[in-house]
Amino acid sequence: MNQKIKQGLAIVTAAALAFGLASVSTATAANKTYYIAYQGPLSGGEASTGIDEQNAVKYAAKLFMAKNKGITIKVVSVDDQGDPAVASTVAPGIGTNKNILGVVGPAYSGATIASLPYYKQGGLVLISPSATRVSLTDPASPDFGGPVFHRVVGKDDLQGPALAKYATAGVANAKVFIFDDQSAYAVPLAGFVTSGLKKVTGASVVGTDSVPNTTTDFSPTIAKIKTSGATVVIYTGYYSQAAIFIKQLRDSGSTAIFAGGDGVFNQEFPKLAGNAAEGSRVTGVGGLAGISSKLEADFKKQMGVSSGVYSVESYDAANILLEGIKAGKTTRALMLKWVNAYKGKSVSGNTIKFDKNGDISYGLFAGFTSKSGVLVNTGIIK
């Protein structure tokens, strides 16, 4: 019932937003107002991911407006709760609202697939910071999002092998235990890690588990890890669970190497896990390599909270759209063309460019190791 009420609210909010926008579209010549949207889970159990991403989009808009007086950017919140069912009810309103020039998102692959028909029809360009499912940029798949879909995040089939390699680096005859959080992000990624491990000499999978992402008691999983004699443990879920898990693993006396994917790649992870996180290995998109502490401090000052999951990806995605607005691409058709031909710098200095299927050109992953409470970049995983 809880979920239903929330869904109802989401629909009403989205409708109100869509109608509200139509009435305020008459911008004055002196101060032009443009709309971009963020789509992701903004309420419900997945809300933290969406709010982190949206904060980064809002931050980018704030910086842009400070630099470009006379242009007002409004970020329209599209709450799909990360749920395809909800996405298919909010997407039509956004698809037909021509004031919206581009979307950062959707955050989740499932919600993206459900939204795509409406955005393709409306010619609305999408840049997702976190939808990693392989089929989204595979022209042979019915889920293919071209020409409107783009992403500034690496695909699962690149990350899986990179994570497998990084987790087992320097471990002879690695015995690997893999587990996921049952989410649509984690399960496929665990599959690609497993296939990636086959190419690592000497490595073998000694056990697996699949743990709901609301779990806080990991003792059964840890019992399995101990029985399996694993020397490397790979988790494909998110940082908050990873932090709880790694504490319990270390408290159980295990010294196995812990590794996680870009869901764990968050500076909150070592903060939450404390000393237990030390030495943990995490993969993140190569382009994010050197995030500066100065930027983070400014972010915290402007937004009131520290940056979170996929913040940098969301920030980069928003900037592509904002630069387009500055360059006068103020119709959807012009914006779509702009993004397709885009060549610019990410916040970390890498070149951002999309291939013909919407994938980012630098989809290589970097390895990060937790040292004294901070995830430190150790370079691109080759």
Partner 1 sequence: MFAVLIDQFWSLTIAGIALGFIYVLISLGYTMVYGVLRMINFANSEIFMWGTFGTIITSRDLFGYTQTSEPAKGFKLALVLLVSLLMSMLVAGLTAVFVEFVAYRRLRAKGTNRLATLISAIGISIALQELMRLLTHSRPVGAPRVLEKIILSEVWGANIRLDTVITIIAAAIIYFILERFIKLSRMGKAIRAVSQNEDAAKLMGVNLNRVITTTFLVGGLATGAAGFFYVTVFEYTKFNIGFTMGMAAFTAAVLGGIGNIRGAFFGGLTLGLLEVYASAILGTQWKAVTVFIVLVLVLLFKPNGLFGEAVQQTRA
| Residues making contact with partner 1 (CB under 8 A) | 1-2, 5-6, 43, 45, 47-48, 51-52, 179, 182, 208-212, 214-217, 219-221, 223-224, 226-227, 240, 243-244, 247-248, 251-253, 268, 271-275, 304-305, 308, 373
Of 1 and 341, the one with the shorter C-beta distance to partner 1 is: 1
Dihedral, CA of residue 82, residue 192, residue 212 and residue 265, to nearest 10: -70
| Residue whose CB is less far from partner 1, 48 or 135 | 48
Helix (H) or strand (E) holding 111: helix 109-122
* Distance between CA atoms of residues 318 and 38, nearest Å: 9
Residue number with CB closer to partner 1 (274 or 344): 274
Give the integer Cα–Cα distance in Å for 382 and 371.
Answer: 22
In whole angstroms, the minimum distance from the beta carbon of 105 to partner 1 comes to 17
Q: How far is the CB of 220 from partner 1 (least distance, A)?
A: 3
Between 48 and 72, whose beta carbon lies closer to partner 1?
Answer: 48
Q: Report, in Å, the least distance between residue 260 CB and partner 1.
A: 15
To partner 1, the closest distance from the beta carbon of 188 in angstroms equals: 15
Nearer to partner 1, 297 or 327 (CB): 297
Determine phi and psi for 332, rounding to 5 degrees: -65, -40
CB of 11 to partner 1, least distance (A): 17
For residue 192 the two structure tokens come to 């690609």
E strands present in the chain = 32-40, 71-79, 100-104, 125-128, 149-151, 175-180, 204-210, 232-235, 257-260, 281-285, 343-345, 351-353, 365-371, 374-380
Contact 286, 359 (CB under 8 A): no
Cβ 216 to partner 1 shortest distance, Å? 5
Q: CB of 378: closest distance to partner 1 in angstroms?
A: 23
Of the two residues 224 and 337, which places its CB atom closer to partner 1 in the complex? Answer: 224
Alpha-carbon distance of 22 to 161, in angstroms, equals: 47
Nearer to partner 1, 159 or 240 (CB): 240
**Residue closest to 335 by CA, chosen among 346, 344, 323:** 323
Q: Which residues on adjacent β-strands are paired with residue 352?
A: 344
For partner 1, the closer CB: 242 or 321:
242
Q: How many DSSP H helices and E strands does the chain contain?
A: 12, 14
| The two structure tokens encoding residue 27 | 């911008």
Q: How are beta strands 71-79 and 32-40 bridged, if at all?
A: parallel
Q: How far is the CB of 100 from partner 1 (least distance, A)?
A: 24
Please name the residues in contact with 140: beta carbons below 8 A apart, sequence gap of 6 or more. Answer: none
